[in-house]
Amino acid sequence: MSVGIPAELSDLIRAMARRDWGTIDQLTEALDSTNWQGAIPVVGAAFAIAVDQHFGPEPDLNEISSFVANLRNQYQRRKELPVLQLEGLIRAALGEAELLDGIGTDVAFSAQIVILGTLLQDAQWTEAELEEFIREVEETAAQYM
């Protein structure tokens, strides 16, 4: 764990990647009690790195649209996930920062968590790969804390 990064956030990333729903519930409850202190830079870093790894340096807009459509189909409360904002968040992480204009912080944060969870589960990393991802997230997030 990097200095300043709450352990619960790194543990949440691990639990999301492992599909450990019980741990996710426990950690989100603990994070709720602290108003998710420190979460924005950590989730933002994890989101950006995972999006970059999944979609690569030259993303296909159709692939992003398909990913978002599949994500919304899987998510029970899909009405809370606006298509254009989801696609905009992904594309912003890939370099089109202007697409963040008009996306509220609360919507962006919630959507990042949903997208991140899906990307982490899709990655199917080994434990070593997951720990490398978390190390990179912690180092990146520490720059913004």
Q: What is the pLDDT along the chain (145 residues), one digit of tens a residue?
A: 455 788 999 999 999 999 999 999 999 999 999 888 889 999 999 999 999 999 988 889 999 999 999 988 887 665 667 888 899 999 999 999 999 888 888 888 888 999 999 999 999 899 999 999 999 999 999 888 7
Which pTM does this prediction carry?
0.89
Range(s) of the domain holding residue 68: 7-142
Q: Does 1 fall in a domain?
A: no
User: Is the alpha carbon torsion for 97, 99, 100, 101 positive or negative?
Assistant: positive
Residue 28, classified by CB atoms within 10 Å of its CB into exposed (0-12), middle (13-18) or buried (19+), is middle
Q: Does 56 fall in a domain?
A: yes
Domains of the chain: total: 1
